[in-house]
Amino acid sequence: MTGFGKAVKEFNHKKITVEIKSLNSKQLDAAVRLPQPYRSVELDLRTRVAQHLQRGKVDVFVTSESADGVVPVHLNLEQLKLYKQQIELMSQELGLAQPADWHQTLLRMPDVLKTDNNTDDVADDELQMVLNATDEALRALNEFRAQEGHRLEQFFEEKIAAIQQIFGEVEQYETSRVERIKARIIDSLAKLDGVEYDNNRLEQELIFYIEKLDITEEKIRLQNHINYFLETLHASEPGQGKKLGFISQEMGREINTMGSKANQAELQQVVVRMKDQLEQIKEQVLNVL
């Protein structure tokens, strides 16, 4: 969901710039910052953002400046007249002398200078240009996100392939693991002097104990999750990010269970390597819609 888009339009000697950036978020959260004269199109602008983007923390920045770098400045004559009248009235009421230099006095008053960029009188064509620039910036952002999506797809494929390869090493340890566990228990019993036990009962208990350590079901489920992850990754339907996150969680659950049942250093090392690859998937899956 991370992306950036920018569009620049020129209208009536003004350069209108729209910049949009997005970060990961569970839902759409749009923050819009635009000059006061463009406030009337904020609702339309937000609507366009919602139409183009499903979710994410989105920041929209709209700026307007002179295309040639020169900002026309005008004297606010009506405001100057009002200030002069008020000062004259104050002098009359309080018996004070009027200013010796009216120019200096009046030009120091607030809001006596105005620029074209600050005026609230904006033509409809200019407002439409702001919306057009927004659409263009949104398209650029989506193109950026699409490129990032292709990169993530390759990343996930590589990590899943790595997990699959490591997973294939499990089988070579399974048979030896059971024999080692059995031999270790029998050897421990043999070291106990004066303790008699029923071999048939021991065999039954060993079978029960080894069955508890069996990871066949975990292996089957993990393989199913791997296949489902790739199937979802290559699905044509949009918005698969949350599903990929859920699948990766299930993969982690099976890998963790295999680790708890391993009871063998080599197999536990295999589990750690799979978890390392899976954690990298979990970090990046947050970037998928």
What pLDDT digit, counting tens, does each position of 27-65 carry? 889 999 998 889 999 999 999 999 988 888 999 999 988
Q: CB 146: neighbour CB atoms within 10 A?
A: 11
Please give the single-letter amino acid code of residue 167: F
Contact 52, 138 (CB under 8 A): yes
Dihedral angle over CA of 72, 73, 77, 81, nearest 10: 170
Please give the single-letter amino acid code of residue 162: A
pLDDT at site 139: 94
pTM for the whole structure: 0.64
- For residue 255 the two structure tokens come to 């890998």
Which CATH superfamily groups domain 3-68+122-143?
Imidazole glycerol phosphate dehydratase; domain 1 (3.30.230.40)
Q: In angstroms, rounded to a whole number, what is the distance separating the alpha carbons of residues 7 and 204?
A: 74
In sequence order, what are the residues at sequence separation of 6 or more whose Cβ sits closer than 8 angstroms to the Cβ of residue 264?
173, 177, 180, 181
In sequence order, what are the residues at sequence separation of 6 or more whose Cβ sits closer than 8 angstroms to the Cβ of residue 72?
66, 115, 116
Query: pLDDT digit string (tens) for 213-263?
Result: 778 889 999 999 999 999 999 887 877 888 999 999 999 999 999 888 877
Q: What share of the chain is helix, strand, coil (3-state, %, to 5)?
A: 65, 15, 20
Query: pLDDT digit string (tens) for 148-200?
Result: 889 999 999 999 999 999 998 888 877 666 667 666 766 666 666 666 666 67
Nearest to 170 by CA among 103, 134, 216: 216
pLDDT at site 265: 80
How do the domains of the chain map onto residue ranges? 3-68+122-143, 77-111, 168-285
On the CB side of 45, how many CA atoms lie within 13 Å of its CA?
A: 26
Question: Phi then psi for 215, rounded to 5 degrees?
Answer: -115, 20
Nearest to 54 by CA among 22, 86, 79, 85: 22
